[in-house]
């Protein structure tokens, strides 16, 4: 086996092992031990835990970008928006490292993970496109930003983790209700009658 093929095989073994661990409590020494490789091999591929978490999240980021594409193609803006937020929440619950990869960009090293940076850029563009369309069609209030929307999904993720998986749909419905545009208020009928008398 060539040195390059051996390196690829070692990297895949490290990733496969890391997927069996709680991504929010990864330790490179533990991964090296369980993968049956030296700690130096792990550090050559992933010099930090963050680098390993980003590599683990690339596939999920791609799936989230694909979910945004499907939502943009969906004719009904309300249904598209709800489905996309449901998909985003499900993927964050499935991939415990995804929130950090999406929200804590200051720790990222694009030189290490161009693939992750590209996939994350597509996700952010997807959030913006789905939200913009929902706002244009009167589904969501105009003052919500893509960044706020993404952080709201993180909040729901935390609430579900603290509670029960059965809470997911209810909490998502509450979030959607809170983002609806305000209905224009009508004057009370009593006020209208007083003015008519005057």
Per-residue pLDDT tens over the stretch 63-121: 999 999 999 999 999 999 999 999 999 999 998 888 888 887 555 555 556 788 888 88
Position 102 scores a pLDDT of 85
Q: Which of 90-94, 133-137, 194-198 has the lowest mean pLDDT?
A: 194-198
For residue 142, give the 3-state DSSP assignment: coil
Helices (H), 36-97: 39-45, 49-73, 77-94
The pLDDT of residue 101 is 86
Please give the pLDDT value at position 195: 46
Q: Which residue has the higher pLDDT, 148 or 117?
A: 148
Side-chain half-sphere CA neighbours of 18 within 13 A: 30
pLDDT tens profile 36-68: 999 999 999 999 888 898 888 888 999 999 999
Q: Of residues 97 and 171, which shows the higher confidence score?
A: 171
Averaging pLDDT over each range in 4-13, 102-111, 132-141, which range is the top one? 132-141
At 153, the pLDDT band (50, 70, 90 cuts) reads: very high
The pLDDT-based confidence of 177 (bands split at 50, 70, 90) is very high
Closest-CA residue to 68 (of 114, 16, 120, 33): 120
Higher pLDDT, 196 or 131: 131
User: What is the pLDDT, as a whole number, of residue 196?
Assistant: 46
Contact 93, 168 (CB under 8 A): yes
Mean pLDDT of 150-169: 94
| Domains, the chain, with CATH or none | 1-47 (1.10.10), 54-178 (1.10.357.10)
Average pLDDT, the chain: 87
Task: Pick the closest to residue 129 from 62, 70, 181, 59 (CA basis).
Answer: 70
- Coarse DSSP helix, strand, coil percentages of the chain, rounded to the nearest 5 percent: 75, 0, 25
């Amino acid at each position: 086996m060539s040195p390059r093929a051996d390196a690829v095989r070692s990297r895949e073994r490290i990733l496969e092992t890391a997927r069996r661990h709680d991504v929010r409590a990864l330790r490179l020494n533990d991964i090296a031990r369980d993968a049956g490789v030296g700690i130096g091999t792990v550090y050559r591929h992933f010099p930090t835990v963050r680098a390993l978490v980003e590599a683990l999240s690339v596939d999920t980021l791609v799936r989230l970008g694909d979910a945004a594409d499907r939502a943009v193609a969906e004719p009904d803006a309300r249904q598209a928006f709800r489905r996309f937020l449901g998909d985003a929440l499900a993927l964050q619950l499935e991939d415990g490292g995804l929130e950090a990869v999406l929200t804590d960009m200051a720790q990222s090293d694009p030189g290490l993970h161009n693939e992750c940076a590209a996939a994350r850029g597509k996700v952010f563009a997807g959030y913006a496109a789905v939200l913009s369309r929902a706002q244009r069609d009167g589904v969501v209030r105009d003052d919500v930003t893509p960044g706020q929307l993404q952080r709201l999904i993180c909040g729901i993720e935390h609430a579900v983790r603290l509670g029960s998986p059965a809470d997911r749909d209810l909490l998502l419905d509450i979030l959607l209700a809170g983002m609806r545009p305000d209905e224009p208020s009508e004057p009370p009928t009593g006020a209208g009658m007083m003015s008519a008398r005057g």
